[in-house]
């Protein structure tokens, strides 16, 4: 079985690749915090919602008539995160705010860890299925 053919693994790997590339860009921003006329850079956000839309929906299988029909709970609406643009600029034209960059680094680290956790959970499910299926 090729795990790369599984959508969950593909999405998690894409997220991890994006997070790695973003960490590199953010570290360049921090390294150039004192470079005159340097403007911060960032990657375009990865649209995870769009990636989910492109995958086929997963339906719950009822293998016994006594199973309860599954329902999907109503999604709660949360206020979207507002992106804050920095308007600070040093006298030498540098637009890097180190505190903002470090916040982005932490957010990206969290995104990476979430993708790793998803992959680990999927692997545990495979191991459980393999161990229980033999007997």
How much is the pTM? Answer: 0.64
**Token pair of 131 as six digits:** 């161990």
Mean pLDDT of the residues in the chain: 77
Higher pLDDT, 85 or 29: 29
Q: Is the pLDDT of residue 59 over 90?
A: no
Residue spans of beta strands (DSSP E) within 24-107? none
pLDDT of residue 7: 78
Higher pLDDT, 55 or 74: 55
CA dist list (Å): 18 to 25, 39, 47, 80, 112: 11, 21, 11, 21, 9
Convert 40-61 to b/e letters by CB count within 10 Å (16 or more is b).
beeeeebeeeeeeeeeeeeeee
Average the pLDDT over 54-64 and give the result: 65
Q: Residue 21 in contact with residue 112, Cβ under 8 Å?
A: no
How far apart CA 97 and CA 115 sit, in angstroms, is 28
State what percent of residues in the chain have pLDDT above 90.
Answer: 19
How far apart CA 118 and CA 127 sit, in angstroms, is 14
């Amino acid at each position: 079985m090729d795990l790369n053919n599984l959508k969950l693994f593909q999405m998690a790997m894409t997220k991890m690749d994006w997070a790695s590339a973003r960490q590199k860009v953010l570290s360049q921003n921090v390294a150039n915090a004192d470079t005159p006329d340097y403007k911060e850079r960032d990657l375009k956000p990865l649209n995870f919602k769009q990636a989910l839309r492109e995958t086929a929906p997963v339906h719950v299988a009822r293998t016994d008539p006594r199973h309860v029909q599954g329902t999907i709970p109503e999604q709660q609406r949360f206020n979207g995160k507002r992106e804050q643009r920095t308007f600070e600029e040093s006298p030498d034209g540098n637009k890097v705010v180190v505190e903002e960059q470090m916040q982005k680094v932490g957010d990206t680290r969290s995104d990476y860890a979430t993708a790793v956790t998803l992959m680990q959970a999927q692997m545990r499910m495979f191991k459980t299925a393999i161990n229980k299926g033999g007997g």
